[in-house]
């Protein structure tokens, strides 16, 4: 497991951090930003179950959640057992294989209980 951290986008004009990236800041409409490391731990704000994952994901369903990292709310894939998932639970990011496309592994962040 690596120490890779999630990345957010900090607007140079107002300091607001967004994730995912937008063409313009949603707050001040300025276009220039820099990448910043985000905290790798947060709490679950809400979640939904995706019943038809995209091609290359070897699962019948998966959870997508919004994780409050303090400076920003991050949308990501969760790896939590269905009987353990609760709003407000503490999660941390891991960098792992999330799907396979044309036989090649694709990596991304998955959020797991701390
Ligand atoms: Zn802004």
Could you read off the pLDDT tens digit of each residue along the chain, which spans 114 residues? Answer: 557 899 999 999 999 999 999 999 999 999 999 999 999 999 999 999 999 988 888 888 999 999 999 999 999 999 999 999 999 999 999 999 999 999 999 999 999 999
Q: Report how far ligand 1's centroid is from the alpha carbon of 15 (Å).
A: 6
Residues contacting residue 4 through CB under 8 Å, at least 6 positions apart = 95, 109
Query: Which of 114, 28, 108, 37 has its CA nearest to residue 72?
Result: 37
Q: Report how far ligand 1's centroid is from the alpha carbon of 12 (Å).
A: 7
| pLDDT at 70 (0 to 100) | 95
| pLDDT at 96 (0 to 100) | 93
CA-to-CA distance for 18 and 9, rounded, in angstroms? 5
| pLDDT at 58 (0 to 100) | 84
| pLDDT at 2 (0 to 100) | 52
Q: Report how far ligand 1's centroid is from the alpha carbon of 94 (Å).
A: 29
Q: Report how far ligand 1's centroid is from the alpha carbon of 28 (Å).
A: 4
Q: Report how far ligand 1's centroid is from the alpha carbon of 2 (Å).
A: 31
């Amino acid at each position: 497991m690596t120490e890779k951290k999630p990345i957010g986008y900090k607007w140079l004009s107002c300091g607001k951090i967004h994730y995912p990236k937008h063409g313009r800041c949603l707050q001040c409409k300025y276009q220039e930003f820099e990448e910043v490391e985000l905290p790798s731990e947060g709490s679950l704000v809400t979640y939904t179950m995706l019943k038809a994952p995209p091609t290359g994901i070897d699962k019948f369903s998966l959870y997508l959640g919004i994780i409050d990292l303090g400076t920003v709310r991050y949308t990501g894939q969760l790896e939590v057992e269905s009987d353990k998932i609760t709003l407000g639970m503490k999660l941390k990011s891991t960098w792992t294989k999330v799907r396979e496309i044309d036989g090649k592994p694709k990596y991304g962040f998955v959020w797991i209980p701390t």
